[in-house]
Structure 1
Amino acid sequence: MIEKLSKYIPENAVELVNEILLNHPISIKIVNERATKHGDFKRNINNKFQITINNNLNQYQFLLTLIHEIAHFVTFKQYVRVKPHGIEWKRNFQHLMLPFISPAIFPQNLLPLLANYIKNPKASTGSDVKLTYALKQYDENSGKSFIFELQHGSIFLFKDKTFKKGNKRRTRYECVEMNSKRTYLFNQNAEVETL
C-alpha cells in the first residue's frame, strides 16, 4: 500500500504514513477527480472499509485528506456511532496529524495555517479559506481562480453555466446566473473559470 501512496505524498511523510497504516490497516483507492470532495471513508457492502482519495490533489492536500479519512476510520473503530466530524473525530485527526506538522514535510508558509486549522478542524479543509488558498498554490495550473480573487461584476463559468459576481455577504458571494437571472450564493473559495 505505501508504495502506491508514496508518489502522492511528501517524501518525508512516507515513513509516518506507513506506521499509521500498519496500526490501522485499511484499503485505500486513488480515484479520478470528484467535484464535490477530495476523499471519503466508507464501509462497503461486504463490511470492508475503504478510503478513496482524488488523484489530482497536490502532495500536501493529498496528505491532509489521507489523514482526515484515516481519522474517520480510527474513530469508527473506537466508537462506531458518533457524529462524523464530532469531538471524537477531531481528537483523532489532531493526534494523527500532529507529527506531520513539520518543516521537513510541509513548506514553511503552510505550517502556521495547518497549526491553526488542527486546533479545531472542520469537516472540510475548504472551510478554512486561508489554508485552502495556500494549499492551492502548490497545484499545477488548472486555469481556475477562486471567486474571492475576481473583481465585482466579473463574468465566470461554473459547471457549464455563466455567472456574474455580485456583493459579498458574510462569507459568501451573491452571483447571478446569466440565463435564468437567479441569484446563487458561492463559497468565497469556490474555484471558477474566468471569461
Structure 2
Amino acid sequence: MEKQRSFEPLRQYLPDNCFELVMPLILKHKVHLTISRGRKTKLGDYRNAYGNNNHRISVNGDLNKYAFLVTLIHELAHLLTYEKFGHRVQPHGTEWKSIYSQMLYEFIQHQVLPVDITEALVKTIKKPGASTCSEVDLQRVLNKYDKRHPAMTTVETINIGDTFALPDGRKFVRGEVIRKRIKCFLLPGMQPYSFTALYEVIDLNKLNKEIV
C-alpha cells in the first residue's frame, strides 16, 4: 500500500469551497493524485488500481481553477466507472457519461461555481464529451478564466487571411473552417495544417501593437 501525502496543497488549485467536496472521494477511493506539468496532449488522466498500487489520477497544474476542477471530476468519473464495471465498458461510454453527468450535477447543486460555468455544465450534462477539450462550448467558457498574455488567443478569433504564430515561432495564415477544424497555412511555403477552434496561438496583430 502506497503512503499518501497530505492533500492540503490541492486546495490552491481548486475554486473556493470545492476542496471539501472532492476530498471525500479522493480519500474514500485512496487516490494517488499527481499535479502534472502542462501537457499539450491531455489535461489529465486516470490509471486504475492494481496489485499494491492505488488508483492514480493526474491533472495539469497550469489549468485555471475551474478547468482543473472539471478535469478532476472527469478523471474521478473514470475511477467510479472502473470500480463499478471494471474493463467491461468503453472508457467514455454510456456508463461513464452517466456517472460524469451525475457528479457534475452534484457540484452544480452546491452553487459554488460562476453562473456562466454552471450554465455550460448544465449543457454538458445533457451530452457529455470524451474530454473537456472536446466540449467546445464548455472549454470556451473555461478559457475566459485563464490568465494569459494579451496577445494569446485562440485560432477561431483570428480573422481569415491574418497571420498568427505558435510559441515555437512558426507563423501561419488562417483559412476557412472545414469539418469543425480550421485550415491554416504554414509560412513561407503555405503547407496546409488544421487546428481545433480553441487551439491557443499568438495574435501577431495584437503583439505588433504592443511592441509599437
After superposition, residues 112-151 of structure 1 pair within 5 angstroms as 112-142=119-149, 143-151=151-159
Larger Rg: 2
1:43: Cα distance to partner?
4.4
Aligned to 2:164, what secondary structure does the other structure show?
A: strand
Question: 1: CA distance between counterparts of 2:102 and 2:180?
Answer: 29
After superposition, residues 50-129 of structure 1 pair within 5 angstroms as 50-81=56-87, 82-102=89-109, 104-129=111-136
Moved more, 172-181 or 81-90: 172-181
Question: 2: CA distance between counterparts of 1:103 and 1:21?
Answer: 18
Aligned partner (choices 161, 172, 183) of residue 181 of structure 2: 172
The amino acid of 2:63's aligned partner reads L
List alignment gaps of at least 5 residues for structure 2: 1-5, 205-212
Aligned partner (choices 171, 174, 192) of residue 201 of structure 2: 192
Q: Deviations over 1:80-127 (max 9, x none)?
A: 212111111111111222111157311111111110012221111222
What is the TM-score of this pair, normalised by structure 2? Answer: 0.84
| Contact 1:152-1:167 within 8 A present in 2 as well | yes
1:30: Cα distance to partner?
0.3
| Contact 1:102-1:111 within 8 A present in 2 as well | no
List alignment gaps of at least 5 residues for structure 1: none
Moved more, 137-146 or 29-38: 137-146
Q: Percent identity?
A: 35
Q: 1:76 to 1:65 in 2, by over 3 A?
A: same
| Contact 1:103-1:111 within 8 A present in 2 as well | no
After superposition, residues 9-24 of structure 1 pair within 5 angstroms as 9-24=14-29
Q: 1:25 to 1:44 in 2, by over 3 A?
A: closer
Q: 1:17 to 1:45 in 2, by over 3 A?
A: closer
Question: 1: CA distance between counterparts of 2:185 and 2:157?
Answer: 17
Q: 1:49 to 1:22 in 2, by over 3 A?
A: closer
Moved more, 40-49 or 152-161: 40-49
| Contact 1:144-1:193 within 8 A present in 2 as well | yes
Q: Deviations over 1:4-62 (max 9, x none)?
A: 21111112112211222233221100011111111111248864421111111111101
The alignment status of 1:37 with 2:42, answered yes or no, reads yes
Aligned to 1:125, what secondary structure does the other structure show?
A: coil
After TM superposition, which residue ranges in structure 1, 4 or more long, deviate above 6 angstroms?
A: none
Aligned to 2:17, what secondary structure does the other structure show?
A: helix
When the two chains are superposed, the root-mean-square deviation of aligned CA atoms in Å is 2.0
Question: 2: CA distance between counterparts of 1:95 and 1:108?
Answer: 19
Q: How many residues align?
A: 195
